[in-house]
Structure 1
Amino acid sequence: MALRVGLCQMTARNDKEINFQICRDLVSEAASQGCTLVALPECFAFIGAQKGEAQAAAEALEGPTMHRYCELAKEKQLWLSLGGFQEKVEGEPDDKILNTHVIVNSLGEIASVYRKIHLFDAPFTGLVESQQTVAGTEVVSCASPVGQLGVTVCYDVRFPELYQKLRFEHGAEILLVPSAFSMPTGRAHWELLMRTRAVETQCYVIAAAQAGQHNEDGNKRCSWGHAMAVDPWGKVLAEFDGSSTGVRVVEVDQNVLQDVRQKMPLATQRRYDIYGRTS
């Protein structure tokens, strides 16, 4: 049976209240269309305009912002993929934070937590994530009603070993890649990377995205957009343009997934004896 997933695109600002209202509207729309899970992008709760704003906005997962999103999931009785939360952790050096992907279940409980492993240090784009963020160290998957989730964030998508591990060692069926891609890297590689990860792992890819200019002042950061869902055969099921916002509903079908995997049984054809495992 096919289950529905809400794929979201938004333009977050440096205002948590405005962002929550945007996310609430997106989740409500997805709920009205029968979605079981809703995917929100990286930085869904906050994108700063000035240096240091992200650290100042960061909270613990037990804090008020995450509590509101957990209550939203409970109210709408669906799962949320909260794609990249500025998590404050006591004891981190130099007031650095974590870029954390939180999965919340339909009871409003945190089901899984992933801290972004690969930090986006690309000075040519104006973004050097390690200046404010500490890298995570654990690969994370999570059982859900729509299938086994491979939980990642944005820049992770450039490192195929992570996704191979999620598929062939963690049993992932749906790869979540919430993003706030830069303009030059998105223009060059966004669709190519998302479709490649889907094909080589025979998984669905759900890539919620930030789009457009986030704040009127400060660094005037812009994101590529083009939120996308891809099936295990590499077919694009839904895609936004570079500026629109909203939610698109896609169906995740276990029959499609199993059919692709049976036709091309990559799991049993891998030559670990030659090139080793991912671990």
Structure 2
Amino acid sequence: MRTSGILSRLSFGLGKLKMQEISNKDKKLRVVLVQMKSGPDWWENLMLVQSLIDEARSRWPRFDLICFPENCLFRGPRSLVCADKHDRPVLKFEGSRLKRDSSFSLAVEEMASDWDFGVCLGSVLEQSEFENRPYNTLLWIEPKLRFVSYRKLHLFHFISERLRYEEFMDVHPGESPQLINFGSFRFGMSICYDLRFPEFYRWMAIHEGMEVALVPAAFTHLTGQDHWHCLLRARAIENRSYVLASGQWGWHQSERAGRIRCYGHTMAIDPWGNILNELPEDGDGMFMVELSRQKLSESRDKLQSVNDSFFQLSPRARHL
């Protein structure tokens, strides 16, 4: 009798899981990807973000998520970050809420209060305990002003005759990955240079069930023309996951590296490695893609590479 009861409950549980799996397979998520050119004036960038959101609303009456590039609210000389603390483009968080301690944070919160969809606000500068080295933080905003943040782990490090860029001079690295459930998908967060570390995405896929990789970026034209497409498609294929990459475009000014050109080419890639849509190298723009639960499941059923991985990866502790 006891065995029969256990088997009955087990059968019921498996039945519920199967029904849930069937219902999930048909679920879809509409995502808008935005390409833009940010500058050193955070107020102008905020207005541009709002303008692009208004454009998306007019083009697609219904979408679930909109994604912006890295540094979307500030991209310019770091001397401006050290200006008046009440006006500088740096945010602070208190749990899942934004600390309202500057004109910048008040403006971000006021703008976000009108959003009834998810927003991946690329990346912003977040105050750290290291006065002149803020975090480069992916900011995820859900309706009712719930904030989720991921601090960039891998900081851009490039040295050549044409360009020298050492992000760690101005930015403090984060310490852990971050994932979030949204709709019927599990999103793994990353920023730009993270893209070059396959073990990072592999860990999120194997240990945390990542199904969509977010990659807001300000990829340099110098490296992007050779690596951008290859890396994005590889991360999608390796992890049987969607990859959503919003990019900066055009020329930008940096105190340490001088003028830097960003590569653009915002794109979305499906779990089989197919490019679903892509923007050109230059110019603001946007497109909408539909993430399909069924397509994700079919891709993973065909090729079991995530489940068959021999190696179990563990992130290392960082003390910098």
Deviations along 1:6-30, one digit per CA (max 9) or x if unpaired, are 1010000001111111111112222
Deviation, structure 1 residue 222: 1.8
Of the structure 1 ranges 155-164 and 245-254, higher mean CA displacement relative to structure 2 is found in 245-254
Matches of 1:268 and 1:222 in 2, distance apart? 39
Q: Of the candidates 111, 116, 140, which is equivalent to residue 152 of structure 2?
A: 116
Aligned partner of 1:24: which letter?
Q
The change in CA–CA distance for 1:66 and 1:143 in structure 2 (over 3 A counts) is farther
Q: Of the candidates 100, 105, 114, which is equivalent to residue 137 of structure 2?
A: 100
Deviation, structure 1 residue 146: 5.3
Aligned partner of 1:232: which letter?
P
Query: What residue is the counterpart of 1:229 in the other structure?
Result: 268
Deviation, structure 1 residue 213: 1.5
Task: Give the SS at the match of 2:114.
Answer: helix
Query: What residue is the counterpart of 1:189 in the other structure?
Result: 227
The change in CA–CA distance for 1:55 and 1:126 in structure 2 (over 3 A counts) is farther
Deviations along 1:131-182, one digit per CA (max 9) or x if unpaired, are 1101111111011125111011000000011101111111111100000011
Q: Of the candidates 158, 175, 178, which is equivalent to residue 137 of structure 1?
A: 175
Aligned partner of 1:268: which letter?
N
Bigger Rg over Cα: 2
Deviation, structure 1 residue 262: 0.9
Query: What residue is the counterpart of 1:40 in the other structure?
Result: 68
Q: Of the candidates 277, 285, 300, which is equivalent to residue 246 of structure 1?
A: 285
Does the aligned pair in 2 maintain the 1:77–1:106 contact within 8 Å?
A: yes
Matches of 2:78 and 2:150 in 1, distance apart? 24
Matches of 2:294 and 2:104 in 1, distance apart? 37
Query: What residue is the counterpart of 1:209 in the other structure?
Result: 247
Q: Of the candidates 60, 80, 103, which is equivalent to residue 91 of structure 2?
A: 60
Matches of 1:127 and 1:159 in 2, distance apart? 18
Structure 1 unmatched ranges of 5 or more: none
Query: What residue is the counterpart of 1:153 in the other structure?
Result: 191
Q: RMSD over aligned Cα, in angstroms?
A: 2.0
TM-score when normalising by structure 2? 0.80
Aligned partner of 1:123: which letter?
I
Structure 2 unmatched ranges of 5 or more: 1-26, 93-98, 316-320
Matches of 1:200 and 1:21 in 2, distance apart? 38
Q: Of the candidates 177, 180, 187, which is equivalent to residue 215 of structure 2?
A: 177
Q: Of the candidates 115, 124, 142, which is equivalent to residue 76 of structure 1?
A: 115
Count of residue pairs brought into register by the alignment: 272
Deviation, structure 1 residue 216: 11
Structure 1 residue 168 corresponds to structure 2 residue 206: yes
The change in CA–CA distance for 1:146 and 1:225 in structure 2 (over 3 A counts) is farther
Q: Of the candidates 237, 250, 258, which is equivalent to residue 219 of structure 1?
A: 258
Does the aligned pair in 1 maintain the 2:89–2:104 contact within 8 Å?
A: no
The change in CA–CA distance for 1:53 and 1:128 in structure 2 (over 3 A counts) is farther
The change in CA–CA distance for 1:54 and 1:24 in structure 2 (over 3 A counts) is same
